[in-house]
């Protein structure tokens, strides 16, 4: 019924279809539906023979899920350094244990298509973090969600840059 050329076209179409999973560094991004913005972290690197073996520390971040954001404090123990987010940058994430343990994917510096995973032990908050005047501040989660809707910002849905930001208006200054 199908010639070899037709089969080849069908196979290519399946791999290029929007339903096909997207992989980054061997990870299926469809399995990481949440987004995390890391505002700050402190860390201690543990090295052997001038090579970082593992890093541990703590920090503050926002989790984007279900159309809103909630802040959380976290501790981590990872195989490499944990980078803070720039601007409105977020990292793919998923729950390993809801409300307690998140797994995030981090880019590997110098390797554009490589990713590493890191687990964060979290303490969820009822507010979202944001930067104001260079300082880390807090906003009630409901108010932050209103800001997200007003500025069409939802990194979980690919809306990674807020629109219609007036100078000094809104909770977020990046």
The model's pLDDT over 41-90, given as tens digits with 9 standing for 90+, comes to 999 999 888 888 889 999 999 999 999 999 999 999 998 889 999 999 99
φ/ψ (deg, to 5) at 98: -55, 130
For 124-173, what is each residue's pLDDT tens digit? Answer: 999 999 998 889 999 999 999 999 999 999 999 999 999 988 755 555 55
% helix, strand, coil for the chain, step of 5: 15, 50, 35
Task: Report residue 43 as tokens.
Answer: 């860390």
């Amino acid at each position: 019924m199908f010639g070899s050329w037709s089969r080849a076209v069908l196979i290519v179409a399946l791999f290029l279809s929007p339903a096909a999973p997207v992989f980054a560094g061997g990870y299926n991004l469809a399995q990481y539906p949440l987004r995390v913005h890391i505002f700050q972290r402190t860390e201690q690197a543990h090295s052997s023979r001038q090579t970082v073996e593992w890093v541990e520390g703590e920090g503050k971040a926002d989790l984007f899920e279900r159309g809103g954001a909630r802040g959380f404090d976290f501790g981590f123990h990872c195989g490499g350094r944990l980078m803070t987010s720039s601007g409105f940058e977020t990292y793919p994430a998923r729950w390993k244990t809801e409300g307690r343990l998140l797994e995030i994917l981090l880019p590997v510096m110098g390797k554009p298509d490589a990713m590493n995973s890191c687990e964060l032990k979290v303490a969820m908050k009822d507010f979202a973090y944001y930067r104001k005047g260079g300082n880390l501040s807090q906003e009630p989660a409901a108010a932050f969600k209103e800001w997200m809707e007003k500025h069409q910002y939802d990194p979980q849905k690919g809306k990674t840059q807020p629109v219609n930001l007036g100078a000094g208006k809104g909770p977020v200054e990046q």
